[in-house]
Amino acid sequence: MMNKKISELPEFDMAQYIKNDEDIAEYLRQVLEEGDASELAAALGHIAKARGMTEIAKSSGIKREALYKALRPNTKPRLDTIQRVCHALGVKLTATTLQ
């Protein structure tokens, strides 16, 4: 059995697992259900990375550097930023009544 140090393990990259629109919708659904704004920012960042950050920056009208900054983990972007990124990704956040 080979023992590895944590620093030797590959870094997990969620963007590698986002392959299609259904993956995006399910990922966002789960993040929204948790209700953590910083997780939403990170999730949108992962999705934008999977789709191509430069293209999402152009489509959203947000500079690429600002997009990276707004969508990193532990940030709380403004609602208009979230809406612009969602529009660029082709997703819509919706509300439902509590069951």
Note if the pTM is more than 0.95.
no
Residue 52 confidence (pLDDT) above 90: yes
Residue 1 confidence (pLDDT) above 80: no
Measure the CA–CA gap between 35 and 17, rounded to whole angstroms. Answer: 22
Measure the CA–CA gap between 59 and 84, rounded to whole angstroms. Answer: 8
Residue 9 confidence (pLDDT) above 80: no
Measure the CA–CA gap between 27 and 44, rounded to whole angstroms. Answer: 9
- Tell me what percent of the residues of the chain surpass a pLDDT of 70: 98
Measure the CA–CA gap between 66 and 30, rounded to whole angstroms. Answer: 25
Q: What is the pLDDT of residue 18?
A: 93
Measure the CA–CA gap between 71 and 45, rounded to whole angstroms. Answer: 5
